[in-house]
Structure 1
Amino acid sequence: MAINPVTREAYGARSWLRFSDYRFAASVTLIRLAGAEISHAALAMPLAFAQGEGKPAIAALLGFAQGQNLFVAPNGRWAGRYVPAAFRGWPFRLLKASDGQATLCFDEASGLLAGPGEGEAFFGPDGQPSEAIRQMLEFLGQVSRSQDAADAACALLAQHGLLEPWPLKVRDGERERAVGGLLRVNEAALNTLSADALLALRSGGALALAYAQLLSMGNVSLLGQLAAAHAGAASQAQAAHPNGNGDLTKLFKADDGHGMIDWKKLLDD
């Protein structure tokens, strides 16, 4: 198994490297969001609800086809104004057991596992987790708790019958094809809710989530622009370098995604 718990026995004498690009996320089409980042994500990408383990969750829609993330440029940079928090902690993940206990794990398939002194240490000389590991554990813990809060808000929306299939259609060259499996807020049903229902939604954080998702649907056109940029980059690279890839850096102007959101401030508010 490539994803292993971070223990002193396994990683006491090892170190790890921070990722330098987002190629690891290039095949992720939907990524679950945390409550604290919804307002940021809604302005930068389309949001949708997807069924996971029998319950809806709010997610960022990053592409139109399975295994496609249009926000990852061919050179590995992030082609957008906001990077979802779930990508920030890679190659670490926080996995929960059936009893709710969370364990910090490392993805060895990332290629970022290093030898002693080659990167950042997992553990200090005293055998305790290093400062970098403690910070990562705190960050992923905050994200996990905020994701749980978003899930609770999604459950409220479903409870009030406010989620419906999203009949999303996109242009693929000369053809139009449907993107299935996604849900959106039923705006008409939202507008007819009673005052008591609206109060319950607002108290549970679901009302703000509903409006954010509705607002974000305007970003579907951004995905179309990114798809065109990918196609143009591939065509230009092929023309310039028939036997290999050219330098595609200039075709995608992107932020590196680091330091764009103060998670501690947001989650402590």
Structure 2
Amino acid sequence: MLLFGISQFVGSRHMLIAGAKMVDTIKPVTRQAHGERSWRRFGDYRFAAASTVVRLAGAEIAHAAQSLPLAFAEGDGKPVLVALLGFVQGQNLFVAPNGRWAGRYVPAALRGWPFVLGRSPSGETTLCFDESSGLLGRPGEGEAFFGADGEASEAVKQVFEFLVRTRRGQEAADAATALLAQHGLLEAWPLKVKDGEHERAVNGLQRVNEAALNALDAKALGAVRDGGALALAYAQLLSMGNISLLGQLATAHAGAASRQVQQSHAHPNGNGNGDLTKMFEPDDGNGMIDWTKLLDD
């Protein structure tokens, strides 16, 4: 098992952070480049399979804390709130082998893909599209980026507005996190996970120091509460119980990988993968995602 310092991922493409540095395949959406092109909606979460951590927005903290372990990791020299999705570099345990999401809550930062927010050279917020997604098509193959009037389509406008709300929510979470740090309420999280017969450390994570939180005087406690950081602190503390879910998912992934190896030996022509494709399959089994619902807060 390869364990790592979480902080190296904060701000990377794997986190799908709005405003992250541009990579070659993420292009600004323009009439010149996309006026005659189309796009398709994602049908599974394989695109997030390497997202080991993902930033959270303020409005989703209460929902996320019920299903995901929350932590703080360093990003651009400051602590940021993240959901921890795995222990191993480049692995998201919540993405099942068939691409389905194996949890009860999907972080907002993942829901707008293949669109992301970037910044133009002049610093303006820009809607971008990941052209390595496989979801960029020729005219008529999917939904249009722009209408006949040259304006962005309603669907594209909806995605842009959702991404902007998510970014603002991340900024609100950043402000609350900064307040926790200002009052000395963050500490290293000495998280250890099983690696066979041994325990290994996961470095780079922070958690709320519950003892320091309880020791705040009335004035400091009021400042933390009024700044929206008190609710964040309790949510993070409560969410740590979800670490056990990561262990369960890791076991499930290991079992699936073992079965795949066994089936590949038993069926060298590739006809024995039926069990693997059913893993984590939800009840509806149709393999599709209602994107409209995913864009709702």
Q: What residue is the counterpart of 2:246 in the other structure?
A: 223
1:56 aligns with 2:83: no
Deviations along 1:213-264, one digit per CA (max 9) or x if unpaired, are 000000000000000000111112222232447132333145858536831x
Provide, for residues 40-85 of structure 1, a one-character-per-residue CA deviation record: whole Å limited to 9, x for no partner.
1111010100010011110000001111100001111100000111
Could you tell me the TM-score, scaled by structure 1's length?
0.93
Distance in 1 between residues matched to 2:45 and 2:290, nearest whole Å: 10
Aligned to 1:130, which of 153, 160, 167? 153
Change (3 A) 1:260 1:107: closer
**Is 2:162–2:295's contact at 8 Å kept on the other side of the alignment?**
no
Secondary structure of 2:132's aligned partner: helix
Alpha-carbon separation, structure 2, partners of 1:224 and 1:257:
29
Indicate how the Cα distance of structure 1 residues 139 and 39 shifts in structure 2: closer, same or farther if over 3 A, else same.
Answer: same
Report the CA distance between 1:153 and its aligned residue: 0.3
Residue in structure 2 matching 1:120, options 135, 143, 160: 143
How far apart are residue 100 of structure 1 and its match? 5.1
How big is each residue's C-alpha offset from its partner over 1:182-225, in whole Å with a ceiling of 9 and x where there is no partner?
00000000000011111111111100000000000000000000
Match of 1:249 among 272, 277, 292: 277
Matching residue of 2:208: 185
| Corresponding residue for residue 67 of structure 1 | 90
Q: Tell me whether 1:233 sits opposite 2:240 in the alignment.
A: no
**Equivalent residues in 2 for 1:73-112 (5 A)?**
73-96=96-119, 101-112=124-135
SS of 1:144's equivalent? helix
Aligned partner of residue 169 in structure 1, secondary structure: strand
Letter in 2 for 1:262: D
Query: Residue type matched to 2:34 in 1?
Result: Y
Sort the Cα spacing of 1:153 and 1:99 in 2 relative to 1 into closer, same or farther, 3 A. Answer: farther
Q: CA RMSD in A?
A: 1.7
Letter in 1 for 2:273: G
1:175 and 1:261, CA in 2 relative to 1: closer, same or farther beyond 3 A? Answer: farther
Count of matched residue pairs:
263
In the TM superposition, what are the counterparts of 1:189-208 in structure 2 within 5 Å? Answer: 189-208=212-231
**Counterpart AA for 1:210:** A
Cα distance change of structure 1 residues 257 and 148 upon mapping to structure 2, 3 Å threshold: farther
So what's the TM-score if we normalise by structure 2?
0.85
Partner of 1:176: 199
